[in-house]
Structure 1
Amino acid sequence: MPTPKPVPGSILSPMTFMSVKGGEIVVGGKSENWTLLVVYRGKHCPRCKKYLNTLSAMHQDWVEAGFDIVVVSADSLEKAKADQEEFGWSFDLGYGLTESQMATLGVYVTEPLSPDEADGNFAEPGTFVLRPDGSQIIVAISNGPAVRPDLAELLDGMIFNKTKDRPHRGTV
């Protein structure tokens, strides 16, 4: 049975992920800034690398617009660290996303085709934007790696939403 999908406008309870840089990353609940949360499939996914390379190139634009960036997968520290070292992404990278956290986020979960693909079940892509109060203004989930929000369009839209204090959409 599929996991219920998140409701735009609902508050995301705080979640903690381990960081490749050491320490923890907390997302959800109250924050000083808006937050862009990107859930990616993991080291095995070349489409994820392309998306995250684009995000890394835009990192400063997001920061200047007042956003914290959180990127996380279900990968192990070793796999996440290998990606971070290979690609040199400018954002902090989280790892160890649990199935319970996947369910809370409402992302689709996939069983790997083989041990070469992933060590266990992994999350399909999810892109979330949270207001400083932790409410989810954008909830974009996909059941496969080929469908994700265009990051330049998303940033432009989020700057508009912040500037105009636009409400959450899709709540009816």
Structure 2
Amino acid sequence: MSHIPLLPGQIPPAITLALNGGGQVSFAAPGWRLFVVYRGAHCPMCRAYLAQAESFRAHFAAAGIELVLASADTAEQTTALMAETGYAGPVAINLAPEHMAMLGLFITDAGVAGAPRQFAEPAAFAVDGDGRLHAIQISNAPYARPDLQALLSGLVYDRDNGVAARGAMR
């Protein structure tokens, strides 16, 4: 699978995922939203990151930005991870390799017990009020994760000051 370069200002791919515990979420829906892709329950760094995400969840909500996590994990794996980390926000499950490719994510073929056959490396996609990509961060390594504090303050600043998405040209 090849990576498709997404550009800020574009409407994201029409990917709809099931949420753990019921419901669905769409990457292409309008409204300020931050999708954060994490590797999965098999990753020790993800556990610490999800605990940190829980500490920021109320701040994102107060700012009017929905925080949604996503991974290739099953509902069973996600439920166990949420219980362990205390994360109580929306989590999209079963992120498939074709979704990962549509988002331009780096994909790892698992050799780790408990990992999905293929899983995505960390990424973040901020969607603005019009449903367009505002900020994109894609990593190929578990230790190069999106900084939630920087994303929150930057997105609030951009939204409140009418700053357009940057980097829309290649």
Indicate conservation of the 8 Å contact 2:13/2:103, yes or no: no
Q: State the secondary structure of the residue aligned to 1:51.
A: helix
Indicate conservation of the 8 Å contact 1:13/1:29, yes or no: no
Shift in Å, 1:124: 0.6
Indicate conservation of the 8 Å contact 2:34/2:67, yes or no: yes
Residue 156 (structure 1) aligned to one of 142, 153, 161? 153
Correspondence for 2:75: 77
Correspondence for 1:127: 124
CA distance in 2, matches of 1:23, 1:133: 22
Correspondence for 1:47: 45
TM-score by length of 2: 0.93
Over 3 Å off, 4+ runs:
none
TM-score by length of 1: 0.92
CA distance in 2, matches of 1:20, 1:168: 30
The within-5 A match list for 1:1-172 is 2-30=2-30, 33-114=31-112, 116-172=113-169
CA distance in 2, matches of 1:119, 1:147: 20
AA aligned to 1:142 is S
AA aligned to 1:67 is I
Q: State the secondary structure of the residue aligned to 2:48.
A: helix
CA distance in 2, matches of 1:42, 1:61: 24
Shift in Å, 1:88: 2.2
Structure 2 residues not aligned, in runs of 5+: none
Structure 1 residues not aligned, in runs of 5+: none
For structure 1, which segment, 152-161 or 11-20, has the greater mean C-alpha deviation from structure 2 after superposition?
11-20
Matched residue pairs, number?
169
RMSD over equivalenced CA pairs, Å: 1.4
Shift in Å, 1:149: 2.5
Shift in Å, 1:117: 4.6
User: What is the percent sequence identity of the aligned residues?
Assistant: 34
